Chains A and B, each alone.
Chain A
Amino acid sequence: MVAILQAVFSGLALGGIYALVALGFNITHSTTKTLNFGQGELLAAGTVIAVSGVMLLAGKGMHGTLDPQDVTLWRYAVSLLISVVVLGLLGVLLYYTAVRPFIGLGGLSWVMSTLGFGIIIQNTALAIWGPSAMVIPSPLGDNVIRIGGAGVLPQEILVVAASVVVMLCLDTVMRKTKIGKAVRAVAHNKNAATLMGINVPAVVVLAFAISSSLAGLAGLLIAPITTASVFMGLSIALKAFSAAIVGGLNNARGCMLGGFLLGLVESMVGLWHAELREISIFMLIILVLVLKPEGLLGTRVAEKV
Chain B
Amino acid sequence: MKGRAHLLGVAVVALAIAAAPFVTGNGFYLKVLFLIGVNYLAAAGLNVLVGHTGQKSLGHAGLFAVGAYTTALLTTRLGWNPWLAFVAAGVMAGLFGVLIALPALRVKGPALAMVTIGFGIVVEKVVSEWQDVFAGQQGIYGVLSPSWGGRAFGDREWVWFVGVLGLATHLMIRSLLRGKYGRAFMAVNTAEVAAESVGIGVYRSKVLAFVISAVTCGLAGALIAQQNQYISSDFITFNLSIFFLLIVLFGGSSVYGPLLGAIVLTLLDAFLARWPHVQHFTYGALLLFALYAMPNGLAGWIAGLSRRLFPALAKPAAVPPPDGAWRLRGAEILAAERPLLAARGLFKAYGGVVPTNNVDMELKTGHIHSLIGPNGAGKTTLLNILSGIVPPDRGSIEFNGTDIVGLAPNRIARLGLGRTFQNLKLFADMTVLDNVQVGLHRQMATGFLSALLGLPAAARAERHAAAEAAQILDFLGLGDKAHERAGSLPYGLQRRVELARALATHPRLLLLDEPAAGLNPQETRELVDVIAKIRDLGITVLLIEHHMDLVMAISDHVIVLDYGEKIAEGRPAEIQRDPRVIAAYLGADDPDPDAGDTRAPDAHIASATTHG
Contact = CB atoms under 8 A, between A and B. Distances in A.
Contact of B288 (A97, A279, A290, A305): A97
Contact of B56 (A111, A119, A286): A111
B125 A116 contact: no
B103 A278 contact: no
A120 B288 contact: yes
Contact of B285 (A105, A116, A295): A116
B245 to A, nearest CB: 7
A282 B102 CA distance: 15
A290 B102 contact: yes
B380 A305 contact: yes
17 contacts: A102-B292, A109-B291, A112-B249, A113-B291, A115-B242, A116-B286, A116-B287, A119-B284, A120-B284, A120-B285, A245-B110, A278-B122, A282-B122, A285-B114, A286-B118, A293-B111, A305-B422
Interface residues of B, number: 49
Interface residues of A, number: 44
Interface in A277-305: 278-279, 282-283, 285-286, 289-290, 293, 295, 303-305
Given A123-B281, A286-B103, A112 B287 contact: yes
A241 B114 contact: yes
Question: Which of B249, B284, B384, B425 has the most C-beta atoms of chain A within 10 angstroms of its own C-beta?
Answer: B284
B238 A120 contact: no
Nearest to B283: A119
Interface of B: 54, 56, 58, 102-103, 106-111, 113-115, 117-119, 121-122, 125-126, 129, 193, 238, 242, 245-246, 249, 277, 280-281, 283-292, 295, 380, 384, 389, 421-423, 425
A289 B287 CA distance: 28
Contacts of A80: none
Given A279-B125, A289-B115, 20 more contacts: A29-B110, A102-B291, A108-B109, A111-B113, A112-B246, A112-B249, A112-B290, A112-B291, A115-B242, A116-B285, A119-B287, A120-B288, A122-B284, A123-B281, A275-B129, A278-B125, A283-B122, A285-B115, A293-B106, A305-B389
A98 B288 contact: yes
B192 to A, nearest CB: 8
B593 to A, nearest CB: 35
B211 to A, nearest CB: 18
Closest 4 CB pairs of A and B: A116-B287, A116-B288, A119-B284, A120-B284
A5 B274 CA distance: 50
Given A115-B242, A242-B118, A101 B292 contact: yes
A277 to B, nearest CB: 9
Interface string A93-129: 0000110011001011101110111111011001100
Contact of A117 (B107, B125, B288): B288
Contact of B292 (A113, A242, A278, A305): A113
A80 B242 CA distance: 32
Nearest to A292: B106
Contacts of A245: 110-111, 114
Contacts of A116: 283-289
